Amino acid sequence: MSGVRLRTALLLVACCIVTYAKIPGEDPKLPIVVNTPPSLTNQSTQDVVIRERVQFELVCEGTAVTDTDLEFFWKKDGVHYDRDARRVFQPDNGGTLTFTQAFTEDAGEYQCFVKSGSRGIAVSQVVSVKYGHVGDFPPPMVKEHTVRNGESFHLKCDEIPESIPESQLMWTYRPTVVKQNEDSMMWSIISQPAGGGETDELPEAVTEDDRIAYDGNGDIYFAYVTAEDMAGGDGYGCTLYNKMLSTLKIGSQHKIRVNNAGGSISERRPTIQYIPKGVQGLLGDKTTLTCIFSSYPTSEVVWSKIGDDLPVGRWSYKRKTHGRMLELRDLRMEDKGWYQCEADNRVFPPTQERVYLDVKAAPYWIQEPANIISAVGETAQLVCEAGGDPKPKYEFYMNGEALGNKVGDFDRRYRISGADQNILLLPNVEKDLDTAVYQCNASNEFGYIWTNAYVNVLAEPPVWLTKPLPKYNLVNTVDGELHCETFAAPKAKVKWFKNKDELPENDKYEILENGNLKIVNVAFRDKGTYLCVARNTFGSENASTEVLVRSKTVFTKTPESTQADVTESVSFSCEADADDEAILEIDWLKDGEQIDFDLSDRVNADASHTSLTISEVLFADRGEYTCKATAYITLANGKAGLLDEISAVARLAVQGPPDPPVDVSLKDCGVKTAVIAWMAGAENDSPILRFHIQYQADFKPGEWQDVASTGDADTTEYRVNVPPWGNYTFRVIAENDKGKSQPSDETENCQTPAAAPNTNPRNVKGNGTEPNNLVINWTPMERAEHNGPGFFYQVKYRKHDPDNPDGEWVVVNITDPNNSSITIEPTETYEPYDIEVTAFNDLGPATIPPVQMVGYSGEDKPVVVPMNFNVTEVLGPKTAEFEWDAVEGGVENIKGAFVGYKIKTWTVAEGRDGLRTTLVKPDQTRARVENLKPYSDIVAVIVVWNGVYEGDESDPQSLFPTPEGPPGPVDRFEAYPLGPQKIVLHWQLPLEPNGNLLGYEVVHQTVNGTRIGPEVAIGDIDDPMQRKATLTSLEPDTKYRVTIRAKTGAGLGDPNYVETKTALEGVPAVPIVILADKNDTSVVIAWEQPDEGIPGSFFYVRYRKAGDDKWQDSEPDYINDQIVLSPLEPGTKYEVKVVAGNGDTDDLKAESAPQEVVTDGDDSVATAGWFIGMMIAIAILILILIIVCLIKRNRGGKYPVQEKEAALGKDPEKGDDEGGFPEYNQPLTQEPTDPLKGSHPSLNSDVKPMGSETDSMAEYGDGEGGKFNEDGSFIGQYGGDNKKRAPEQQEQPSALSTFV
């Protein structure tokens, strides 16, 4: 049994993997019950650590098909174990040991045995039971260490005592309790500090940070020492804490004395403090690589693998180690190699170190031996194959007893073979001698693996497992199989016959290992009667069957793969043919699962299931869609049996933005960087292109900022820069061609420590807003740039003095971080100042010096005026040259920087509203101005300009004319086709005529794609007031560019052009008429172009009152698709038709059929406008007659002097100049150029005499039966009539005519 007791230093993590074969006696297909050797079904695989009086158990469970009870027993340390029944219990039908109270004597190595009569013994792996304890440190000492402030230092742990189970190793402050390590928990504790005494105090653990590090072996390292490391004089102790045993042990006391404590620390480049010579890890385990550096300031460490990438998804930095410890998980052999750690403290060049990782492997199974059922006389073979590094060695056991590894030992009933001695052969097996449980042990220096497998030797005649069916329906061209499966020991030999002839084994017929007959590529000639016979030395079985051959089911149409965007619809089609006597069913599957059409209204199939439709596609619809055609045949019992089935698969790709990344985590949180890891979500059938990393700061909640983007989709871990003094959470967004995903879940919080600002305010400027002040401005720094508490701006300024560069500064602190300026006053006008703005916080000023700049106090109005300013020469319509005397510079005159001169011009007509300015350099006294207005009287002045203020204008002003110039482009130039050969042009006068317009020049060119033909002139237009023209003799259906230029005496002006296309040649299609709208006095007639035929170039409407003979035409329209007809009469029926034209002649016009339309309103006399007007006129006439009668009655029998005088055209009281009633002021006759004063003329040119009330209304018209005036009334129609008057009455104007 020495072989099964193999142990290594890694026994605690060794495991035993056991595979259990199917027990034939349990197989429901077997017609007999076969007894089997025992097998283990459950066992303890991990070593056990016990505590005094604490319950524990050792598991052992097994099974077998047996006619006797199983026997369970144990061995401890290789000797039969007799349990203490008072506290160790074992069930009658099991092997599990339950220790109700553990004692020290229970420690040892246990192994369970399961026996099944004479058929063998199964053996568990060895389980080690160990008593838990923590040893003591060496006798305590007080050790003092003196270190200079800022130097690196490390404390070595005393000899570390043994601990079972393994204890947590840390350093603690002695003896003062301040706080707990965040990884520790509250516990009840009895410790023995310094080797003696008891305490229930919990020391404060020394936590790792960017300056303090553990090496994993018990030592602690300081990147640089400060006064706080003296720990109040109490010192440090190396400490073991065992959580299971609730035990704490502390070693010697180490006290640190720091020289020059609190003094300044010099910057130091990173230097290695600790790195292992090499690291060894085991396959599948995890390991840690450590690099500890000293430096000031502290360093961030980044790891890489030499010549390869770090294993994706299997590495991370241990928390709070700032990259010093790289943890590799699930080690693989390819992880072996050199790794590099690089330390960077952002001051000196990075420092690199290397460490080699060697990966070994404890044994692991490649092939476990399987349970074997063998017949008498056969050879049984147990293959035991394991992997490992180094290569494992093998040992075999029978019923727990070791077998020698003597190769070729045929005197005994076994031999061991194979290149690695890993195969156990049992030739010519016998039932009583070789039926047993065999064990295989594979081991190397890193552990062992152990397993059981039995050999069950049987002797049985053939019995049916699967008897041939009475009838088989095989399918043409498809392989068929006839059953003939028996159980026998030794195995039965099977023969097949067709129509009494034995079938040979060839390419057509194959007798399978289980006895079934395989018919390859079935044909219709294969039908007939088949017989199978199974025989061994103990007996035989036979059975016959009938074979029929059916037509194969085939697809006539298969679904095709497709892709769709979300919300689109897709369809798949599928059709098939089957045997004439078969029943064909078509089913649809998605990703291998039958589609239930009752679950969704979006997924539907037609009645025959030959078409599948998915509406409003979702991402969940992507996948493989299978059309399964199944043929069923009716069996002799009337039930349907499967004949054959075929499948066709199509893939549906649903494209869209990717799903959010998952498993987003914070792998490391450093001083200024963090490492974010994630896994990609679903691509949604469009490959992911990149990932975007965002962070949210606690001082800007809800505001996510992009911090980095990966350049590819393979990166799933990224180091990002984060500002100091903040709490940050991160998230990741994926992107593909279809867009960006939703954001991932947020990571846990990353808190960065405070640091001095690493930048200063930007855009620092100094300018005055008044002549006596200086305003210093800067862009406020974001909260993320403060880097620590107590942030403020320090503003420094002083007068700029090149002769005294070290002059004294005036310092002002601005404590409001949002402030962006400070005003200094009073100052002298335009005086230079040196300015600096520095960012500060509680940790000091920014790490980079501020930029010193020079600013100036405010400007004032210049006090000098240029003299002798005049125009020297007019060079053109827009250009003239000026000259002037230079002014004296200097701040006292310019009151600021001498930027230059401004020449201002305007026209007399426009005044200063049309001011134009030209800026001239300060060293010039002569300049050309090129923005004058042509053909105008120009006023010009000059002023001095200092960038803020202008000086007084020069005096006197210069006045001169500019000559005529070419005009600007014409305004609102438009062109419309008029049939196939004409284009009508319209334009307006140029907005800038620049002189006296003389006319226009018009040319046209053909346009064919990007090619433009030669210009063709239509002749000059000499009338400057002309606004339209017509181009003729053009080509039909041709695009033209028409260009027009106005001209003055100075020549042609700027061009303006339009492009349009002539109509197709031929009669246009008849337009479709639409009544768009109507009211009392108007209708809106619209039209549409027919889909077929030649479109019209222009349209107009013909209309008339119903019953009239004469049509009226509206103005033609070249642009719109409707025309308003107005004014029309209310309540009146009109006939309308629309005319489409492609030329001037009637043969190039097409008109629609007439349609009737009735205007709104009522045309009855009571409501007609003319009737109401006539009634009002009559009422006024009656009122006038009453007034005249009253006047005459009041005058009584007086002599009618006024009437007589009026008959002579005189005023007896006032004369001819003024006064009196108007009807007496008019002369008897008037010249045609002297209209009646105070009266309106009648509609007729002649004054008619008044008539009686019974006169016909037709007599009040103008010979056409009495026409309406504009408002539809007869007012003004009574000014005269056609009846005769007395001579004296004819000489006087009528009262009505005078009134109206």
Give the residue-averaged pLDDT of 1040-1069: 92
Per the listing, tokens 């000091």 go with 844
3-class secondary structure, 887:
coil
Give the residue-averaged pLDDT of 199-219: 83
3-class secondary structure, 178:
coil
Cα distances from 436 to residues 70, 1054, 1085, in angstroms, run 14, 113, 109
State how far Cα 548 lies from the chain centre: 62
Q: How many CB atoms lie within 10 A of CB 1044?
A: 22
Give the residue-averaged pLDDT of 475-490: 92
Given a cut of 80, whether residue 183 has pLDDT beyond it is no
Spatial separation of the C-alpha atoms in residues 2 and 397, rounded to whole Å? 11
Share of the chain above pLDDT 70, in %: 85
Q: Cα–Cα–Cα angle for 985, 991, 997, nearest 5°?
A: 75
Cα distances from 504 to residues 101, 326, 469, 474, 784, in angstroms, run 72, 67, 22, 20, 87
Spatial separation of the C-alpha atoms in residues 100 and 943, rounded to whole Å? 110
Cα dihedral 756/759/763/766 (nearest 10):
50
Q: Which region among 231-245, 440-454, 1190-1204 has the lowest average model confidence (pLDDT)?
A: 1190-1204
Structure tokens at 857: 């106090």
Give the residue-averaged pLDDT of 317-333: 92
3-class secondary structure, 227:
helix
Cα distances from 235 to residues 183, 202, 679, in angstroms, run 22, 15, 46
The span from the first CA to the last CA of the chain, in angstroms, equals 146
Per the listing, tokens 């039932």 go with 431
Cα distances from 158 to residues 238, 239, 853, 866, in angstroms, run 7, 10, 60, 94
DSSP character at residue 809? P
Reported as type and span, the H/E element at residue 1179 is helix 1169-1195
pLDDT of 2-55, one tens digit each? 333 323 222 222 222 222 223 233 344 556 678 899 999 999 999 999 998 999
What pLDDT is attached to residue 24? 30
Give the residue-averaged pLDDT of 540-561: 95
Given a cut of 80, whether residue 832 has pLDDT beyond it is yes
Structure tokens at 731: 């998230």
Structure tokens at 78: 């290789």
1243: confidence class by pLDDT, cuts 50, 70, 90: very low
pLDDT of 946-993, one tens digit each? 999 999 999 877 789 999 999 999 999 999 888 788 899 999 999 999
Looking at residue 542, its amino acid is N
Spatial separation of the C-alpha atoms in residues 450 and 435, rounded to whole Å? 20
Given a cut of 90, whether residue 1059 has pLDDT beyond it is yes
DSSP-derived secondary structure for 829-884: TT-EEEEEEEEEETTEE-SSPPPPEEEE-----------S-EEEEE-SSS-EEEE-
Q: What is the mean pLDDT of the chain?
A: 84
Per the listing, tokens 């201002």 go with 904
- Evaluate the omega torsion of the peptide bond into residue 390 and state whether it is cis, within 30 degrees of 0: yes
Share of the chain above pLDDT 90, in %: 65
pLDDT of 570-626, one tens digit each? 999 999 999 999 999 999 999 999 999 999 899 999 999 999 999 999 988 989 999
What pLDDT is attached to residue 864? 95
What pLDDT is attached to residue 337? 96
Given a cut of 60, whether residue 899 has pLDDT beyond it is yes
What pLDDT is attached to residue 1091? 77
The residue among 553 and 1193 whose pLDDT is bigger is 553
Spatial separation of the C-alpha atoms in residues 731 and 1028, rounded to whole Å? 68
What pLDDT is attached to residue 447? 94
Length of the chain measured in residues: 1300
DSSP character at residue 1253? T
Given a cut of 50, whether residue 1297 has pLDDT beyond it is no
Spatial separation of the C-alpha atoms in residues 68 and 985, rounded to whole Å? 118
Contacts of 541 (CB under 8 A, 6+ apart): 462, 463, 464, 486, 492, 533, 534, 535
pLDDT of 1264-1281, one tens digit each? 333 333 333 333 333 334
